[in-house]
């Protein structure tokens, strides 16, 4: 698994899977994901020219996307969704996100926990997160080989995230703010409380400790991307150090990369192939809703 320039990653000798962040933070979020000829956009919160430029580097047009996945309706995740609406591209979200983001029903594909959707080579699972939006979720993306999980915009960790995190070869997890920088910083008190609340954004400390605990004893070597860093209340070096130290305390050494806020991030590529069965969520005993859904399947 390597990070490299997009032009070398996607043309001659195209890798089985490639993932790139097109921007990460309150100014806009999107990931471009390719696997086995299938192309997905996960969130559509960066400028449309950034999206089309990244697609063009891979000889693709916007209308060649196989689907757009949306995590929640906040503008930094859907800013350019209007350019997708009206095209023959499925827009995937939970029912609550569809309502708030005004996704037209004919174009909408509902996703809910325990009920995956498949687009070509890729199967996507929604995993609910705690955030001040209607029905926010993160995603596990299973290409049949490499897997990635994306959890940004969550105010608190939940046990249901452990299973997808441990199953992933690329983990994208929010590391939004340094606790002291937030509370000493310039935000008004109500905004500080909102960011730090259980439905706000994950701090560096919570990201680091939760990730280290989730990966305790794991045998794989995932790459870690830290996402949605605050420009005002964080420092990429501080965020990275906190996660690296927490992982080291569990004797885990992994590549940890804070994603750039306003520019393209590295390209992650993988040729991982798995003989194991497709990923399925393990029942979470403390989550009666998930248990009920699992029982229906």
Applying CB under 5 A, which residues contact Zn ion? 74, 76, 153
CA 11 to chain centre: 25
Complex with Zn ion: residue 87 or 262, whichever CB lies closer: 262
**How many CB atoms lie under 10 A from the CB of residue 134?**
16
Question: Considering the complex, what minimum distance in angstroms separates the CB of residue 145 from Zn ion?
Answer: 29
Nearer to Zn ion, 10 or 152 (CB): 152
Closer CB to Zn ion, 17 or 91, in the complex: 91
CB of 154: closest distance to Zn ion in angstroms? 9
Query: Between residues 10 and 20, which has the closer beta carbon with respect to Zn ion?
Result: 20
Nearest CA-CA partner of 236 in 24, 31, 33: 24
Q: Which is nearer to Zn ion, 71 or 290 (CB)?
A: 71
Measured CA to CA, the distance from residue 293 to residue 288 in angstroms comes to 9
Q: How far is the CB of 69 from Zn ion (least distance, A)?
A: 14
Closest contact distance (angstroms) between CB of 211 and Zn ion is 19
The rounded distance, in Å, linking the Cα atoms of 159 and 289 is: 13
Q: What is the largest CA-CA distance in the chain?
A: 52
Alpha helices in the chain (DSSP H): 6-10, 48-56, 75-78, 95-101, 162-167, 179-184, 189-196, 204-214, 236-248, 288-296
Please, what is the minimum distance in Å from the beta carbon of residue 257 to Zn ion? 19
Contact 170, 225 (CB under 8 A): yes
CA dist., res. 145 & res. 159, Å (int): 24
If the CB atoms of residues 47 and 145 are measured against Zn ion, the closer one turns out to be 47
Shortest Cβ distance from residue 76 to Zn ion (Å)? 4
| SS3 at position 79 | coil
Question: How many CB atoms are located within 10 Å of the residue 69 CB?
Answer: 26
């Amino acid at each position: 698994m390597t990070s490299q320039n997009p032009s070398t990653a996607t043309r001659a000798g195209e890798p089985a899977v490639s993932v790139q962040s097109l921007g990460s933070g309150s100014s806009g979020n999107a990931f471009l994901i390719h696997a086995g000829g299938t192309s997905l956009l996960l969130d559509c919160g960066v400028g449309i020219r950034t999206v089309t430029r990244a697609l063009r580097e891979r000889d693709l047009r916007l209308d060649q996307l196989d689907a757009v996945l949306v995590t929640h309706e906040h503008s930094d995740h859907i800013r350019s969704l209007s350019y997708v609406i009206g095209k023959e591209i499925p827009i995937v979200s939970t029912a609550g996100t569809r309502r708030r983001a005004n996704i037209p029903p004919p174009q909408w594909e509902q996703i809910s926990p325990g009920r995956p959707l498949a687009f070509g080579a890729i199967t996507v699972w929604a995993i609910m997160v705690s955030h001040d939006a209607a029905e926010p979720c993160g995603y596990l993306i299973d290409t049949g080989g490499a897997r990635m999980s994306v959890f940004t915009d969550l105010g608190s960790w939940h046990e249901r995230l452990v299973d997808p995190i441990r199953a992933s070869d690329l983990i994208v997890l929010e590391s939004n703010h340094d606790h002291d920088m937030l509370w000493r910083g310039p935000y008004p008190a109500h905004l500080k409380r909102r960011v730090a609340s259980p439905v706000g954004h994950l701090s560096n400390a919570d990201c680091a400790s939760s990730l280290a605990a989730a990966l305790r004893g794991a045998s794989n070597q995932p790459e870690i991307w830290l996402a949605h860093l605050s420009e005002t209340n964080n420092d990429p070096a501080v965020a990275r150090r906190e996660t690296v130290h927490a992982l080291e305390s569990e004797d885990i050494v992994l590549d940890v990369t804070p994603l750039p806020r306003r520019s393209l991030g590295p390209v992650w590529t993988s040729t991982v192939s798995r003989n194991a069965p497709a990923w399925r969520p393990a029942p979470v005993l403390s989550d009666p809703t998930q248990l009920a859904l699992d029982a229906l399947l």
